[in-house]
Amino acid sequence: MNRTAVEPNQSTLALTRTAGQHQKNPSNGVFPRPETCDHDRMQAIVQHQYGSAEVLEHAVIDRPTIGDKEVLIEVHSAGLDRGTWHLMTGTPYLIRILGFGFSRPKQATPGLDVAGRVTAVGKAVNRFAVGDEVFGIAKGSFAEYAAASEDKLVTKPAGLSFDAAAVATVSGITALEALTDIGHIQAGERVLIVGASGGVGSFAVQLAKALGAEVTGVASASKSDFVLSLGADYVFDYRTNYLENANCEYDLIVDIGGRTKVSSLRKLLTDTGTLVFVGGEGGNKITGGIGRQIGASLMSIFFKQRLTMFVSGESLEHITRLREFLESGAVSPAIGKRFKLSEVPTAMHELASGLTSGKSVIAVKSSTIT
């Protein structure tokens, strides 16, 4: 991607040249608003090192430039997801090895989920025009403007708010892939969703219901009403001994959160059922949650049950399919909390602390108008 504008050295220069425009992360987690007076500049969250939310800074930087197959989006809203938190912390270290920056993030502006209006298009863009309202994935969405490949965007349904569209893509397509392409869900099946109250889980519950399954969600007790409100038929608190007491078997288990013992999950699965690993925190510093998923998937050759993992391909096909569920109203993004751009550190902290239900949205446009 062609993003010359947010090179660390340039932003650091901006700090020394324009005093007061580049705000260090304050103790209360909320930045004062920097001033923009140059039309080629924009407010953004930036980070020049890996770490906790303290590494985030509220800055005025150059707007991104776009490549031939990219569009420039005026960001209305951005969604926060676990992947963005991993990219902020640089953990597990595997993500550094995979090319996101070894000693510091290559992408200085965080944020992936986006919704906004197209303000410029590259020479080879043929799906969008200036003025189109879009949503999808744009690296660096925690900013007033973000560049995105046209293949990571779709038009926003008229009936969907920018906030709702902004939180949909990363978690929604992951849930969709887990249930359909990987889990081969069928109407009438019993589906268990472990981690039902989070970003991916809140979409998985709704999608599984829309696809005709009987859905049981697993979450903390305080979020059980939330999971039921998403449409789940039953809900378990993961702090109780549901693994021993569950009195039915599931055709499909989607394991999104926690580190439940694989042998315990297998006992809840039918003889020919499928266990799809989506995620789960913890593990060692190098591979994190992925280590457990890889190990279990390799063991699958010894069982009749299918144990499998995947990494979302972020394909246009999946974003387009998700859009259909959103447009029809079968799925409504569950927005837990709304934050200003300056409050991204607080939003990150709440995500890491498990205080979020569904997805948090960063209301960029309404919080940056000067």
Ligand X SMILES: NC(=O)c1ccc[n+]([C@@H]2O[C@H](COP(=O)([O-])OP(=O)(O)OC[C@H]3O[C@@H](n4cnc5c(N)ncnc54)[C@H](OP(=O)(O)O)[C@@H]3O)[C@@H](O)[C@H]2O)c1
Tell me whether residue 34 or residue 336 sits nearer to ligand X (CB atom).
336
- Residue 125 CB, nearest distance to ligand X (Å)? 27
Pick from 64, 140, 198, 345 the residue near ligand X by CB under 6 A.
Answer: 198
> x-or-dash pattern for ligand X, window 203-222, by CB under 6 A?
---------------xxx--
Window 266 to 295, contacts with ligand X (CB under 6 A): 278-281, 289
360: closest CA among 120, 264, 369, 346?
346
- Residue 240 CB, nearest distance to ligand X (Å)? 11
256: closest CA among 296, 293, 229, 301?
293
Tell me whether residue 160 or residue 347 sits nearer to ligand X (CB atom).
347
- Residue 113 CB, nearest distance to ligand X (Å)? 11
Helix, strand, or coil (residue 362) = strand
Q: For residues 354 and 77, what is the distance between their CA atoms, to the nearest angstrom?
A: 22
Q: For residues 316 and 273, what is the distance between their CA atoms, to the nearest angstrom?
A: 29
Return the amino acid letter for 152. Answer: K
169: closest CA among 184, 151, 181?
151
- Residue 169 CB, nearest distance to ligand X (Å)? 11
Map tokens 């989070």 to a residue. Answer: 198
- Residue 343 CB, nearest distance to ligand X (Å)? 18
Tell me whether residue 23 or residue 91 sits nearer to ligand X (CB atom).
91
Tell me whether residue 200 or residue 252 sits nearer to ligand X (CB atom).
200
Return the amino acid letter for 71. Answer: V
Which runs of E-coded beta strand occur in 36-93? 41-46, 57-62, 70-80
- The region of 16-24, 55-63, 81-89, 294-302 touching ligand X under the rule CB under 6 A is 81-89
- Residue 83 CB, nearest distance to ligand X (Å)? 5
Phi and psi of 98, rounded to 5°?
Answer: -75, 0
258: contact with ligand X by CB under 6 A: yes
Helix, strand, or coil (residue 120) = strand
Pick from 72, 78, 256, 361 the residue near ligand X by CB under 6 A.
Answer: 256
195: contact with ligand X by CB under 6 A: yes
- Residue 369 CB, nearest distance to ligand X (Å)? 29
For residue 1, the tally of other CB atoms under 10 A from its CB is 16
- Residue 53 CB, nearest distance to ligand X (Å)? 15
Q: For residues 103 and 354, what is the distance between their CA atoms, to the nearest angstrom?
A: 27
Window 159 to 188, contacts with ligand X (CB under 6 A): 171, 174
200: contact with ligand X by CB under 6 A: yes
- The region of 136-144, 184-192, 306-314, 321-329 touching ligand X under the rule CB under 6 A is 306-314
Q: Which residues on adjacent β-strands are paired with residue 215?
A: 191
Question: What sign for the dihedral angle of Cα 206, 207, 212, 216?
Answer: negative
* Burial (Cβ within 10 Å: 0-12, 13-18, ≥19) of residue 287: middle
Residues in touch with ligand X (CB under 6 A): 81-83, 86, 171, 174, 194-201, 218-220, 223, 238, 256-258, 260, 278-281, 289, 310-312, 351, 354, 356
